[in-house]
Amino acid sequence: MPLRPYIVGNWKMHGTRAMLSEARAIDRAAQRHMKVEVAIAPPSTLIHPVHREAEQIVVGAQDCHDQESGAHTGEISATMLADAGAKFVILGHSERRQGQGEGDALVQAKAEAALAAGLRVILCCGESEKTRDSGSALTYVKKQLKASLPEIPRGAAEKLTVAYEPIWAIGTGKTATPADIGEMHAEIRALLVELFGEEEGAEVRILYGGSVKPENAGEILNVPEVGGALVGGASLTADSFMGIALAAGETEEG
């Protein structure tokens, strides 16, 4: 059975408690769109408050440490996120790979720590504009993904989601063409099947991320192998975020 479209909001470093009303509005609207799985990853300070109030949406985190506990000032472990109510964590986002210098091995270690703590993982990958222009985007993304993917215990592939996010499309208003998205997602699917086998490899959802908005969501979400969207800017208001969820509900899978 096809999985429900998965629409995930990444609030990044946006949101104080004043944003809880927006989370409530998203939750209320999600109750009317049960064909779509709606989730948000607010800043860590809001995970518990959103979790306490949410009836429908799933709450997650934007990063975790690769150790369970220890002398790591300022860090948060996957176990702590799960304790606060998080059900998933976004890992390997390009803003962390670039801004915090996170490499593939660290992303992989974090993903393994997250799975061990019972969290689902959204693992991000994507190429820069220079790599896309040089014609090596497919090779680059597959290599990055292969080196970042965690070991998955048998039967647990549905705990993993991959998000393809071309760096040049994040927050820029530019989006990849449906043809380029389709080509990349097909390659990612083939890699997942090669690594996890036919059945489990098919269970991993592949999201697209990069300037998804209500206006372009329908076209993007109808591309084969696009199982949903990872949304930054347009997830900050219930109106625009749920516009995307509405488009997801109208796709063939939704």
36 binds ligand PEP (CB under 6 A): no
Judged by beta carbon, residue 30 or residue 176, the one nearer ligand PEP is 176
Judged by beta carbon, residue 196 or residue 241, the one nearer ligand PEP is 241
247 binds ligand PEP (CB under 6 A): no
Q: What angle do CA 239, 242, 243 make, to 5 degrees?
A: 80
Find the binder of ligand PEP among 233, 243, 249, 254 (CB under 6 A).
233
141 binds ligand PEP (CB under 6 A): no
Exactly one of 22, 37, 127, 165 is catalytic; which is it?
A: 165
Concerning whether 165 is annotated as a catalytic residue, the answer is: yes
CA distance 181 to 178: 5
Q: Which amino acid is at 45?
A: T
Long-range CB contact pairs, 138-143, < 8 A, 24+:
138/183, 138/184, 138/187, 141/184, 141/187, 141/188, 142/187, 142/188, 142/191
| Contacts (CB under 6 A) with ligand PEP, residues 154-213 | 165, 170-171, 209-212
CA distance 53 to 20: 9
232 binds ligand PEP (CB under 6 A): yes
Q: What is the nearest approach in angstroms of ligand PEP to the Cβ of residue 83?
A: 25
Q: Which amino acid is at 137?
A: A
38 binds ligand PEP (CB under 6 A): no
Token look-up 């070991």 returns: 151
The pair of structure tokens assigned to 154 is 């048998």
CA distance 168 to 18: 31
| Contacts (CB under 6 A) with ligand PEP, residues 207-226 | 209-212
Exactly one of 33, 51, 93, 185 is catalytic; which is it?
A: 93
Residue numbers at the binding site for ligand PEP (CB under 6 A): 10, 165, 170-171, 209-212, 230-234
Residues designated as active site: 93, 165
